[in-house]
Structure formats: structure tokens, C-alpha cells
Amino acid sequence: MKPPRIRWHILVFLAPALLVYTTIMIFPLFNTLRLALFDEVDQARVFVGLDNFRTLFGDPRWSASFWNALGNNFWFFVIHMLVQNPIGILLAAILSHPRLRFAALYRTAIFVPTILSFVIVGFAWKLILSPIWGIAPEMMDSVGLGDFFQPWLGLEGTALTTLALISVWQFVGIPLMLIYAALLSIPEEILEAGECDGITGAAAFWKIKLPLILPSIGIISILTFVGNFNAFDLIYAAQGALAGPDFSTDILGTFMYRTFFGFQLQLGDPHMGSAIASAMFAIILIGVCIYLFGIQTRLRRYQF
């Protein structure tokens, strides 16, 4: 028996990506986890074990901020799941209708916000919703709804939901595109076979197309989850690092940023910041594991 030949070309082709990914992703990740176990005492870095996490979850102030941010983050995610993804699926279903005219135009128009920078989106919506210069108050006035206008971004009860909906507006193109691609890949024969059995129109969508795009919906859900729990930019661009009013729009990303880099007179604390970043990593890891082992393995896939 010959010893198996080492296939060098595999190593060579893997090396660049592996190297880049290790230096800019894996190493910083583990370094952050490590940093969370240290603290600065008298300008020297000392190992403190899990003390930072004890402070984060045990100290009433820290834990109140943390749970507030986590709760807000969940609400942010829930809005995306309840609004963004159903709308994305609906739009994809409409767009994939063979008799729809200008489908490419709609597709592009809906996808364009996705490639805009968060800063532009945050700023544009702040202006649109501004009670002073915004077009929203006048538009609502012109249809007789002027009395219902509120400075939504400035009110504790509505600011987070408003921001979540802005984010939905920005990113609805992603589920749209993924579902659209999945819908297009469904062979005509299956739909025609369904027609022969009398399944047409809406019934065809619910009974044939939806089961076939479920894996895509699963992927979208997990992308939404990871994206939302890593979110930071939009809140920072629209509300600033203090995530006002009264921290009602504070999510884990802004909480971590404030702690890590400091804010105004608050000096940065890289160690507590790393502890929060580690907690974020754990939350996302748990979420992804639940999906991978609890849901994805149970999804039925069809081969055509």
C-alpha cells in the first residue's frame, strides 16, 4: 500500500483565505475574549478571571444597562422578523409572478437602500421625520392625518420601533433577493403538476412554493438574527452613542461602544467593553446553535 499522497495544492489554495481570516477575524475574536478576563489596576493589566462578568451581571447598574440593551435588541430583532421577512417574502412572490411588468425596475429600486451607508440612511430618515424641516408632518397634514404626527425618534415609547422600521426599509431587499432566487429555482414542472391536481394561485404558493423556500427562510432568519445582534451603526448615526431618549434605543452594540471607547467625559474601559463583546458573542453563538441543531436539521429538503 502506498502512503496517501499529500495534496499540496489544497493547502496552497486554502492558505491565503485562512491566513487573512485568522489574522483579521479569529485572532481579534480570541484576543477580545482574553481581554475580558483582565482589568487595569494602577496602570498595569492584571488577570481578574471572571470579575468583569460578575460586575456586568451582578452590579445593579451594569446589569440594568445590559438587560435593557438586550431587551431592546430582542425587540429590534422581533420587528425585523415580523415585518422585514414577511414583506420580503411577499414582495418576492409578487415579483416572481411571470406577468408582472417592470419587475427588474422594482427589484432594483427595493434593493438600492441596502447598499446605502447607514449614515446616509440614518441622516435621511432623521430629516424626513424631523418635526421642524421634515416632509413627514406636511405629507400627513395633506391627507388630514397631521394631528397624528409625533416626533417619533424623540419619544421613549416609539423611538426604537421607528428605528427598527427604518432598518427594515433599508434591508428588506436582502430577504427579497434570496427568496426571489429560491422561487425562480422551483421547476415549472412541479407547478404544472400541481395545476393538474387543481392547485393554483394562492394555494400553489402556500402548498408548493412555501415548503420549497423554507430552507431559504431559515437562512434569512439566522442572517437577520446575527445582523440585528451585531447592529450598531444605524442607532449610532441616528441617536448618537447615548442612544436616547433615556437609553430606550440602546442595543448591545451601542452599549459596548460606549463602554469600550468611552463617551464624552467617560473614559473608555477596554476590559468591561470586551466583557460585553464576549457576552454578545455568546448570545449570537447560542442563537446560531439553536438554529443549526434545533431547526436546520429538521428542515426537509427537496432535490429536483
CB of 150 to other proteins, least distance (A): 8
**Looking at beta carbons only, is 151 or 227 nearer to other proteins?**
151
Contact 212, 167 (CB under 8 A): no
**Residue among 68, 114, 130, 296 that touches other proteins (CB under 8 A):** 130
Compute how many residues bind other proteins; rule: CB under 8 A: 32
Decide: is 141 part of the binding site for other proteins (CB under 8 A): no
Q: What is the CA radius of gyration of the chain?
A: 24
Tell me which stretch binds other proteins (CB under 8 A): 146-154, 167-175, 180-188, 279-287: 146-154
**Looking at beta carbons only, is 93 or 235 nearer to other proteins?**
235
Cα 159 from Cα 165, distance rounded (Å): 10
Q: Which residue's entry shows cell 440602546?
A: 250
Cα 103 from Cα 70, distance rounded (Å): 39
Number of H helices, E strands in the chain: 16, 4
CB of 260 to other proteins, least distance (A): 10
Angle between helices 27-35 and 270-289 (to 10 degrees): 120
- Lay out the site mask for other proteins across 148-177 (x = CB under 8 A, - = otherwise): --xxxxxxx---------------------
Q: Which residue's entry shows cell 468583569?
A: 52
**Residue among 6, 12, 132, 196 that touches other proteins (CB under 8 A):** 132
**Looking at beta carbons only, is 231 or 269 nearer to other proteins?**
269
**Residue among 79, 129, 235, 284 that touches other proteins (CB under 8 A):** 129
CB of 168 to other proteins, least distance (A): 19
CB of 166 to other proteins, least distance (A): 13
**Looking at beta carbons only, is 208 or 242 nearer to other proteins?**
242
CB of 132 to other proteins, least distance (A): 5
In 3-state terms, what secondary structure has residue 26?
Answer: helix
Contact 215, 208 (CB under 8 A): no
Decide: is 68 part of the binding site for other proteins (CB under 8 A): no
In 3-state terms, what secondary structure has residue 40?
Answer: strand
Q: Classify burial at 57, counting beta carbons within 10 Å of its beta carbon; exposed 0-12, middle 13-18, buried 19 or more.
A: middle
**Looking at beta carbons only, is 6 or 267 nearer to other proteins?**
267
| DSSP structure string for 129-190 | T-TTT-HHHHHHHHTT-GGG---GGGSTTTHHHHHHHHHHHHHTHHHHHHHHHHHHTS-HHH
The footprint of other proteins on residues 18-57 (CB under 8 A) is 43
- Lay out the site mask for other proteins across 232-271 (x = CB under 8 A, - = otherwise): -------xx-x-xxxx-------------xxxxxxxxx--
Contact 112, 173 (CB under 8 A): yes
Chain positions contacting other proteins, by CB under 8 A: 43, 61, 126, 129-133, 137, 150-156, 239-240, 242, 244-247, 261-269
